[in-house]
């Protein structure tokens, strides 16, 4: 009986998110996946090898996300200092209570692996799992390609454009889930 209920719930969620995607109003589906830098492990049917767009590194990524748009509150472009002059740019995701619990559970059981954030087949960011995030705020380093490599500000602009799209899809997911 539990499996039937899980299947029905999964089918409902898929139908809800499928309804969000149309040719007239394409919505971003943001997925959070567990990944591993060890590409020597067999992928089987539940994992696949993906390539990070900027670093050109291959990673093994679960095919099933552990978290989606509906478990997020918002996303912002953020930068963290790595030296006095250098910064890492990325996305700061804020999870709702359910997402924060999932994030903490996944991070706690997958130390030394990766969190890979994707929209469709496009990798948006990566975060090594080196600690458990308990407050639901997750910073991931951007893997978004700069449209103009000669202009570093263009990469930030691209990230800001993506952030606006992601926030629209998060808001839409929240609206759909509140209608249930």
Q: Band of the pLDDT at 13, cuts 50, 70, 90? A: very low
Full-model pTM: 0.81
Domains of the chain by residue range: 27-178
Question: Is the pLDDT assigned to residue 18 strictly greater than 60?
Answer: no
Q: Band of the pLDDT at 20, cuts 50, 70, 90? A: very low
Q: Encode pLDDT of 21-72 as tens digits.
A: 433 445 779 999 999 998 887 788 999 999 999 888 999 999 999 999 999 9
Lowest mean pLDDT among 2-6, 30-34, 87-91, 136-140: 2-6
In terms of pLDDT, which residue wins out, 87 or 23? 87
Tokens for 158?
């691209």
Q: Band of the pLDDT at 153, cuts 50, 70, 90? A: low
Tokens for 65?
């996300």
Task: Identify whether the C-beta of residue 89 lies closer than 8 Å to the C-beta of residue 142.
Answer: yes
* Predicted local confidence at residue 152, as pLDDT: 64
Q: Band of the pLDDT at 178, cuts 50, 70, 90? A: confident
Handedness of CA 52, 56, 59, 63 (dihedral sign): positive
Q: Band of the pLDDT at 93, cuts 50, 70, 90? A: very high
Q: Tell me the CATH architecture of domain 27-178.
A: 2-Layer Sandwich (3.30)
* Residues 130-134, mean pLDDT to the nearest whole number: 94
Please spell the DSSP secondary structure of 9-51, one letter per residue. HHHHHHHHHHHH--SSS--PPEEEEEEES-TTS--TTTEEEEE
Q: Encode pLDDT of 100-117 as tens digits.
A: 999 999 999 999 999 999
Distance CA 77, CA 27 (A): 19
């Amino acid at each position: 009986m539990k499996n039937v209920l899980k299947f029905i719930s999964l089918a409902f969620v898929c139908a809800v998110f499928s309804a969000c995607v149309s040719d007239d109003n394409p919505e971003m589906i943001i997925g959070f996946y567990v990944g591993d830098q060890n590409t020597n492990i067999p992928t089987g049917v539940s994992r696949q090898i993906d390539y990070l767009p900027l670093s050109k590194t291959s990673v093994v990524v679960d095919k099933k996300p552990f978290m989606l748009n509906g478990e997020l509150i918002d996303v912002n472009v953020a930068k963290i200092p790595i030296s006095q002059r250098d910064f890492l740019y990325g996305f700061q995701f804020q999870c709702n209570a359910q997402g924060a619990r999932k994030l903490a559970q996944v991070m706690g059981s997958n130390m030394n692996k990766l969190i890979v954030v994707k929209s469709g087949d496009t990798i948006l960011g990566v975060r090594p799992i080196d600690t458990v995030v308990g407050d639901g705020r997750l910073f991931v380093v951007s893997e978004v390609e700069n449209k103009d490599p000669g202009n570093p500000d263009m990469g930030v602009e691209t990230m800001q454009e993506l952030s606006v799209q992601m926030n629209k899809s998060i808001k839409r997911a929240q609206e759909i889930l509140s209608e249930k």
